[in-house]
Amino acid sequence: MKLFKDTLAVLTFAALLVCVPNVRADEWNKKTIIKIDEAVQLPTIVLQPGTYVFKLVDSPSDRHIVQVFDEGEKRLFTTVLAIPNYRLEPKGKTVFTFWEVPAGEIPAVRAWFYPGDLFGQEFAYPKNRATQVAAYTKTSVATSNAQSMDEMKSMPITSTNENGQTSDLDSNTYVAKTSDPAPVPVFEPTPQAATPQVADPAPVAVPEPQRTPAPIPAKLPHTATQAPLLGLFGLLSLGAFFALRRFARVR
């Protein structure tokens, strides 16, 4: 289709030249007042340049329903169904993101982020428009054909791919991506420096001490006494005494 043969245009809130000099927001229902300088496409209506009020409906069904009013909130322009859309880093101001569309087409709003929030409102488009956006962006688009408030509170939101096929909405597409788990560190033992092998010292020959011969004494020591000689001499003298005495008696 010629509609999708034009040059790709990546549009953001800033590139669209949406002027918000005095954006006002309320925390409770995310009420935000914006002023736009160019027409923008919402799921069911095209907003012309002007000032508008975006805010969430207080719904007990826990569905994300967004209403768009005029500046004085006296006229309701449209009510659209949305799903939570996660962003990695919150901003301190209102941010609108847009689908990529061919050059010359009215920019299609994709999501609205309230200041400081991580989760914004991803708008669900009717099946015919969702098919066109998906075919151009090669990305599945949240889809809902709900018309009334009651339908928005209960009708399921589906997903439309580039071939126009509808399937259940994969909510994981719009939540924080879980990073791959960090690899488990492998602790390897620190290689120990090889202890150098110290060779045994070569045996050292120790000379035997030289023995100095004892000096020969000039005079030999006395190894015997004269006591035995004196005793022998005494015995001989005693024997001679008795012999002489006996001899004297005989005479």
Residue 18: per-residue pLDDT: 47
- Which helix (H) or strand (E) covers residue 166, if one does? strand 166-168
pTM, entire model: 0.61
Model confidence at 207, in pLDDT bands (50, 70, 90)? low
Residue 236: per-residue pLDDT: 72
CA distance 133 to 43: 11
For residue 10, pLDDT beyond 70: no
pLDDT digit string, tens, across residues 132-190: 999 999 999 999 999 888 899 888 999 999 999 999 987 776 765 544 444 434 333 44
CA distance 149 to 27: 23
CA distance 193 to 174: 54
In 3-100, beta strands by DSSP E: 8-9, 24-25, 32-36, 40-41, 46-47, 50-56, 64-70, 76-86, 95-99
Model confidence at 228, in pLDDT bands (50, 70, 90)? low
CA distance 34 to 93: 11
pLDDT digit string, tens, across residues 185-198: 433 344 455 555 55
For residue 126, pLDDT beyond 80: yes
% of the chain exceeding 70 in pLDDT: 58
Residue 6: per-residue pLDDT: 41
Mean pLDDT rounded to a whole number for the chain: 75
Residue 63: per-residue pLDDT: 82
